[in-house]
């Protein structure tokens, strides 16, 4: 029987995402100047105020205020009427040294024996629904907001946009679990004040439907057939949305974990990513399980795969690996048998995850908005400044967990031609 499935996304200007981006900018700066840094950094943003808190063990010294202000400026909070502005907001730091009780469980004499930074379970997921092996509803929700942010920065076709925004996409699937049409699209975008609310609602809805959606459709040509005249559009359904961002709603690091991952598909272990260095398996193992799931699907093991790994704090070897192919396996094996083979291909001890995916590099700012998964793997050069103004350039590879570099090994292990 056909069914509906919905995923949401939030923009880089959403208060929770502002917090995530500041936390990950701090991670990147610590790793740029000391790759062995251990960091757990939380950010709170509200009207005119940023609060930084967390634990750090690092040789690097940072100007955390400047880093936070640079992130806020890049996002677009640069006007006093937003009541949260890069140059004038207060930045309070309550960052202190990491607990030695935690550190002794992670750092070991032999690096390969590095223990997990915490207990817990992490999940990775992949589906052949899209070219980037991501669920389509979430992919579309992200694309809508990325395009909306481009329109805001261009400031040509739509000139009233402010940084805060949310989107939601509902898809209809057929009996074979294939998406057949878009049922509904929700877009709520912060905007400048209008003369009247009636004029405002009419203008925003017209611009979203006639300018934004055609741009998304053009860039997402493979799924253009899913767009139709019967889509239910809910554009700024509450009405006026002038007060937004951290002034409208307090933001905290780690509150958008489903937006960050798979939009409600698969599963989630509950641990957030942003603000954590890769010794925290909440982050590194979630990336590693995504890497496994994506390579399994790309190799033809199954059409859809969920991978779970779990750890005890201070212990290197995971408690176990679980695989669920949702009945889509193309190999003549039970999911438990698939899991045993996966254990032999991918070393899931924390140190080896860090090495395999090059996680001790400053690669995290780019993950902090529009999803950590399904992104483009590329090499870039980034610049970082010390408090005394010295510039350090670092060449890094982004989104290494999105690489299909294990497909050949997976095919060989499963005897797939």
Residue with tokens 């000391």: 34
Dihedral sign computed on CA atoms, order 41, 246, 76, 218: positive
| Rounded-to-integer distance, Cα 255 and Cα 312, Å | 24
Q: What are phi and psi of 127, to 5 degrees?
A: -140, 150
Q: Is 255 annotated as a binding residue?
A: yes
Q: Is 316 annotated as a binding residue?
A: no
Q: Is 104 annotated as a binding residue?
A: no
Q: Give the helix ranges, DSSP H, for 349-406.
A: 350-357
Sheet holding 179-191, edge to edge: 3-10, 161-173, 179-191, 232-235
DSSP conformation class of 224: G
- Of 320, 353, 337, 324, the closest CA to residue 415 belongs to 337
C-alpha angle 50-162-168 in degrees, rounded to nearest 5: 95
Q: What are phi and psi of 213, to 5 degrees?
A: -60, -45
Q: How far is CA 16 from CA 99, 259, 355, in A?
A: 26, 11, 30
Is there a contact between 202 and 177 (Cβ–Cβ < 8 Å)?
Answer: no
| Distance, C-alpha 14 to centroid of its chain | 13
Q: Is 294 annotated as a binding residue?
A: no
Q: Is 286 annotated as a binding residue?
A: no
Half-sphere exposure of 102 (CA within 13 A, CB side): 15
- Of 409, 417, 138, the closest CA to residue 296 belongs to 409
**Exposed (0-12), middle (13-18) or buried (19+): which is 68, by Cβ within 10 Å?**
buried
CB under 8 Å to 383, separation ≥6 — which residues?
Answer: 391, 392, 393, 394
Q: Is 164 annotated as a binding residue?
A: yes
Is there a contact between 29 and 191 (Cβ–Cβ < 8 Å)?
Answer: no
Please state the three-class secondary structure of 92-117 as a single string: EEEEEECCHHHHHHHCCCCHHHCCEC
Looking at the DSSP assignment, which residues form a beta bridge with residue 378?
A: 398
Sheet holding 38-46, edge to edge: 90-97, 49-57, 38-46, 251-252
Q: Is 205 annotated as a binding residue?
A: no
Q: Is 113 annotated as a binding residue?
A: no
Is there a contact between 295 and 404 (Cβ–Cβ < 8 Å)?
Answer: yes
Q: Is 96 annotated as a binding residue?
A: no
Q: Is 265 annotated as a binding residue?
A: no
Q: Is 126 annotated as a binding residue?
A: no
Q: Is 195 annotated as a binding residue?
A: no
User: Binding site: residue ranges?
Assistant: 14, 16, 42, 55, 98, 164-166, 240-241, 249, 255-256, 272, 276, 280
User: Binding site for L-methionine: residue ranges?
Assistant: 55, 98, 249, 280
User: Binding site for Mg(2+): residue ranges?
Assistant: 16
User: Binding site for K(+): residue ranges?
Assistant: 42
User: Binding site for ATP: residue ranges?
Assistant: 14, 164-166, 240-241, 249, 255-256, 272, 276
């Amino acid at each position: 029987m056909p069914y509906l499935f919905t995923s949401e996304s939030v923009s880089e200007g959403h208060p929770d995402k502002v917090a995530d981006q500041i936390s990950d900018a701090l991670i990147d700066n610590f790793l740029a100047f000391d790759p062995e840094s251990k960091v757990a950094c939380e950010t709170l943003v509200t009207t005119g105020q940023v609060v930084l808190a967390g634990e750090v063990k690092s040789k690097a010294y940072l100007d955390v205020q400047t880093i936070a202000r640079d992130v806020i400026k890049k996002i677009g909070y640069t006007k006093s009427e937003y009541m949260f502005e890069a140059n004038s907001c207060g930045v309070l730091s309550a960052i202190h040294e990491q607990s030695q009780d935690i550190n002794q469980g992670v750092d070991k004499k032999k690096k390969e024996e590095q223990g997990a930074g915490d207990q817990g379970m992490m999940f990775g997921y992949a589906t052949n629904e899209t070219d980037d092996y991501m669920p389509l509803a979430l992919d579309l929700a992200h694309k809508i907001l990325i395009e909306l942010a481009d329109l805001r920065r261009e400031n040509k076709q739509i000139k009233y946009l402010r940084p805060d925004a949310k989107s939601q996409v509902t898809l209809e699937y057929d009996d074979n679990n294939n998406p057949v049409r878009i049922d509904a699209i929700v877009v709520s975008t912060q905007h400048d004040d209008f003369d009247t609310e009636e004029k405002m609602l009419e203008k925003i809805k017209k611009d979203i439907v006639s300018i934004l959606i055609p741009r998304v459709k053009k860039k997402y040509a493979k799924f253009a057939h899913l767009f139709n005249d019967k889509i239910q559009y809910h554009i700024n359904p509450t009405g006026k949305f002038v007060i937004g961002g951290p002034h409208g709603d307090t933001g905290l690091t780690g509150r958008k974990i489903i937006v960050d991952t798979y939009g409600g598909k698969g599963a989630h272990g509950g641990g957030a990513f942003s603000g954590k260095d890769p010794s925290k398996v909440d982050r590194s193992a979630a990336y590693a399980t995504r890497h496994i799931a994506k390579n399994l699907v790309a190799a033809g093991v199954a059409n859809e795969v969920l991978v779970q790994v779990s750890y005890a704090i201070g212990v290197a070897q995971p408690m176990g690996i679980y695989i669920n192919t949702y009945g889509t396996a193309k190999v003549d094996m039970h999911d438990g048998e698939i899991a045993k083979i996966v254990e032999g291909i991918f070393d899931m001890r924390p140190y080896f995850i860090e090495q395999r995916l090059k996680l001790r590099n400053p690669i995290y700012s780019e993950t902090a908005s529009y999803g950590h998964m399904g992104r483009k793997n590329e090499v870039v050069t980034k610049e970082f400044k010390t408090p005394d103004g010295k510039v350090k350039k670092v060449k890094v590879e982004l989104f290494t967990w999105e690489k299909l570099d294990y497909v050949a090994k997976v095919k060989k292990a499963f005897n797939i031609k």
